[in-house]
Amino acid sequence: MVKFISLFCAICAAISFSQSSFANDPYPLDYFALREVVMDARLSPDGKRLAILTIPSKEGDPIVEVYKTDNMSAKPFRLNADPMEVRNIYWATNDNIVMRLRQKVRDKIEGFNQGVFESKLASVDLKTKKFKEYDQIGASISHLLPEKPKKVIYSFIPGEFENNRLSEPFRPTAYYELDLKTGRKRLILRGKISLGQVEFDGKGNPWLGRGFDIAKGEYVWYYRRPGETDWKELHRLSENSYENFSVVGFDVGNPHLFFVVANNGNDKEGLWEFDSNSKKFTELIYRRNDVDVRGVRSHSNSWTSYDEVVAVSYATDKLHYEYFNAEEAAIYKQLEQLVPNAYRTSILSRTKDSQSLVIYNTGPRDPGSYYLLHKGKFSKVGSEQPLLEADKLADLKYIKFKARDGRDLAAYVTVPNGEPPFPAIVLPHGGPFVPELVVYDEWAQMLANNGYMVVQPQYRGSFNYGIDFHKASFINGSEAGYKMQDDKDDSALELVKRGWADKDRLAMYGWSYGGYAALVAASRTPQIYQCSIAGAAVADMTMQINYYRSQLRGVQKERQLKYRLGAVNPVDETAKVNIPLLMIHGSVDQRVPVDHAKKYRKAIADQGKPFKYVELDGADHFYDTLEYEHQKLLYESIVSFLKNDCGPAGL
């Protein structure tokens, strides 16, 4: 049952903690454990209202607050969705807000990748104050249909496909047009494997489709023109190819020309023009020699210019944009001059007349801040973590160095306030095959605030650095625990070489694959680290691959089998553990089930080796399932272990 509630201003006084009195004192760990005080902010299309998704207390659930933009100091309209919690908000009209809700519905996972949460959609009419839930479980918003008032397009994965997460990247999806007032739905398209996912243009027309040809083992892209009902084939790519082909938009002036992020025979991905008439690449728009193209930026006014691509992006030290649209480039340049500690600045919401904006910024010294530009006035709406001050957070450096075998590597380094050399933590990303871009990293900042330098190496296998760099982690046999591990060790040694870190005060902390790396670090010789912390760790590579081995094919099969089955397997290495070890795991982890922790704990206990274990009750694998108490326990366990159990004198 929805509750309409009156509370004190959540943004201004959500938390009762007092600020630390001394500039050099670390923050209480509670500060970092807080869930986001402000999670989102969106303007109504006419700019008269501002909706904010906020968490008013440290153990509370998200609520929606709606303010009048001409009088932000006035008492807002508030609601929550108890017993569900609001996760996302969207304006469908000037008076209707659509929300995605989430609720924990079971205490235990039902198997690999089958978690304890379920979601659905709801809406509220601000004129009538009526709240309405819609019955489709797992639905998410695909399009807001600005030309059809009170209607949206939603999508969900039908039951026969919803747990089939790894067999095909294009899982069949069903799309419906939903009438927010009546709750009636109209089927637009029910996906199948051969054409499983679609995208919509600014008017809500399906224009791009993707699927998989099982017989030929090929991914297939389709397109269709407005007013047409038949799909035409655009491009095919073998499932055995390591190249990428992703349609990211089209030229609004020449809609037969598509924008595509692809390798097209090259090691690095670039942005290409692709002619749908000839079905050929026609022009290379942008490519780099050091990193892949990351994607594109769309026009900031989604109400009037939904389909316009204005920039291409790539990630090195930060996310960079090369603009095609001079007006959009000028807007962002001006905003970056207005926003304090501007680093990664984006326009979250913009009115149809372009006179009002909601701006979001995040960076090493900004956990996430929201700003309103309305009628020429620029003001701060709120912060995700208002207790964390910019001058007490840490700077971020991007370094390049050579691995011991000569391969070029990069890493992000979070530098504590103070003078080196520092004790240092290697924090490898999970995946392991993901493109990591460090912006504001809560774990790194928490550790830096407590005096630790943190290095996040982009070890071989990571996406973003080309096909060869990725394949080097498995193509000639698994490098998990071998050269991939050397890359992490070499990042720590590079800090020592530069005089930034103390060689006798090094540790590793990781989550998921990063937790696997931390288990490997605990048993490697020669000893580099004084201790290791393994979160949600893959302890048994064979057990992990067996969860989904039967679903694999093509590149995914070669990659996963070679990487998993030839790897150093931590559960078989417990006799070699030679440093203090802390293990942390969520009790309802669906991606790396807690059975991994149970199996490893038995094996290491059988060896008589000391270790510590912390279980986060009710926590899944993913960050957004960690409540305040989970994060508080996580951070207290990590810092206490580093100070008291890491080596003879602590780290």
pLDDT for position 622: 85
Average pLDDT, the chain: 91
pLDDT for position 20: 35
| Alpha helices by DSSP H, 57-147 | none
Strand bridging mode 85-91 / 232-238:
unpaired
pLDDT band at 58 (very low <50, low <70, confident <90, very high): confident
Q: Contact at 8 Å (CB) between 2 and 82?
A: yes
Cα(140)–Cα(86) distance, integer angstroms: 13
Cα(236)–Cα(317) distance, integer angstroms: 34
In the predicted model, is pLDDT for residue 8 greater than 50? Answer: no
Give, as one character, the DSSP assignment of residue 192. Answer: B
Q: Count of alpha carbons within 13 Å of 519, Cβ hemisphere only?
A: 33
Residues with Cβ within 8 Å of residue 228, at least 6 apart in sequence: none
pLDDT band at 5 (very low <50, low <70, confident <90, very high): very low
Strand bridging mode 581-586 / 612-616:
parallel
Q: Nearest CA to 421 among 505, 488, 364?
A: 505
Residue range 526-550: average pLDDT?
94
Backbone angles phi, psi at 286, to 5 degrees: -160, 135
Question: In degrees, to the nearest 5, what angle opens at C-alpha 510 toward C-alphas 504 and 512?
Answer: 155
Tens digit of each residue's pLDDT (9 = 90 or more) over 322-353: 999 999 999 999 999 999 999 999 999 999 88
Domain 394-644 sits in CATH at 3.40.50.1820
Residue range 376-394: average pLDDT?
95
pLDDT band at 59 (very low <50, low <70, confident <90, very high): confident
Which residue type is seen at 427? L
Tens digit of each residue's pLDDT (9 = 90 or more) over 401-449: 999 999 999 999 999 999 999 999 999 999 999 999 999 999 999 999 9
Name the strand (E) or helix (H) holding 564: helix 554-565
Two tokens, residue 635: 């951070």
Tens digit of each residue's pLDDT (9 = 90 or more) over 216-244: 999 999 999 888 889 999 999 999 999 99
